[in-house]
Amino acid sequence: MRDEAFDIVVLDWMLPDGDGIALCGEMRAAQDATPVLMLTARAEVADRVQGLRSGADDYVVKPFEVDELLARIDALVRRSRMLSHAISVGALWIDPLTRSVSLRGRGLELTSKEYGLLLRLAAVQPEVVDRATLLADIWQLKFDPQSGVLDVHVSRLRDKLGDCAWMIETVRGAGYRLRGSRES
């Protein structure tokens, strides 16, 4: 789940190597908004409430009817897609509604300018955005395109992306682009 984005997570409360409630809580703490359907034998009202309060979007008790489970999965995915204006580029997730960014399910702390720069590149990905456009859009001032302010912010943003710094590609003489994979 840290390396890939999923449309939905079907999660049992009791996992062989841990606790589904704790995992759901970790997902939410990391700003992972993937819909979670808790599927478990724990049927008490207090259990259902705890599951939903941990961050699950729905809760189904075993035994269940397969048709109902599939309908609930479809509904969660449909609702998630309708509500989400988020942009996904590879393992990067940007939610303009909450101004949050996560990479491999882990939240990134970005400055306002870093966020704006990343959002601008993601909005047109995989197109190249020239330096003058980025400077005008993010700083809303007319900077000399050769100004180092953009380079400094790109460098800091790459530092925060860590081993995924390659996602921001410098296109010599043209500008920058955001890549979803190393091959693109």
Digitized pLDDT (tens) for each residue of the chain, 184 residues in all = 777 778 899 999 999 988 999 999 988 887 788 899 999 999 999 999 999 989 999 999 999 999 999 988 988 887 776 555 788 899 999 987 788 899 998 999 999 899 999 999 998 889 999 988 888 888 766 666 667 889 999 999 999 999 999 999 999 989 999 999 887 5
**Domains in the chain with CATH codes:** 9-84 (3.40.50.2300), 88-178 (1.10.10.10)
Phi, psi for residue 66 in degrees, rounded to 5? -60, -40
The two most distant CA atoms of the chain are separated, in Å, by 65
Amino acid present at 63: P
Tell whether pTM > 0.75.
Answer: no
Task: Please spell the DSSP secondary structure of 66-104, one letter per residue.
Answer: HHHHHHHHHHHHHHHHHH---EEETTEEEETTTTEEEET
Tokens linked to 161: 């992306």
Q: How far apart are CA 144 and CA 126, in angstroms?
A: 25
